[in-house]
Amino acid sequence: MSNPDSLKLSAENFDAIDQIVNKYNSDKGAAIMILQQVQATYGYIGQSMLERISQLTGTPTSELFSIVTFYSQFRLEPLGENFIQVCHGTACHLAGAERISEAVQHVTKAKPGHTSPDGKFTLEHVACLGCCSHGPIMTLNNETFARMTPDKVKKMLHQKVADKGFVNSEGCELSE
């Protein structure tokens, strides 16, 4: 998987960024909306994208980078094929969220906030997934799993790594 910071977009790919920026008539106050639409188009916002937006809007790249790193909605690298969130809210933390994160990292080799070297998994720690009484909570590709244990995590992810799929028997419609 290529490093998104080294991604060099072609002129053809810049067309989408150009259209997004032109939609806002290069209004400096529209930076967040521009960044949101660029991310919706590409799935993340890489360095070359920030540089192009800066060229078109006159907003310094450092200011755009500050926005992207301040708001958790923005990503600086593409998501992996599978997106994992581990809740680290108070209830999940007390129920063992750190052990869940460690198990995810062990199997996937993805560090929190990053994508695994093979591009298969992205791991994100979140403040709350809204299932506090069923923690620790984890999501995999927007499916929610309750009362996770390191063993459940390892079994589920090993199945996913082997591309065997898995059955969601722990969803936050909250079957247990």
User: What is each CA distance from 174 to 16, 100, 159, 168, in whole angstroms?
Assistant: 41, 18, 21, 10
Backbone Cα Rg of the chain: 19
How far is C-alpha 42 from the chain's CA centre?
13
Q: CA nearest 9: which of 39, 49, 68?
A: 49
Q: CA nearest 28: which of 65, 49, 54?
A: 54
Q: What are the structure tokens assigned to 29, written together?
A: 């106050």
Chain length of the chain: 176
Please enumerate, by residue number, every residue annotated as part of a binding site for [2Fe-2S] cluster: 87, 92, 128, 132
Q: 37, 111 in Cβ contact below 8 A?
A: no
Please enumerate, by residue number, every residue annotated as part of a binding site: 87, 92, 128, 132
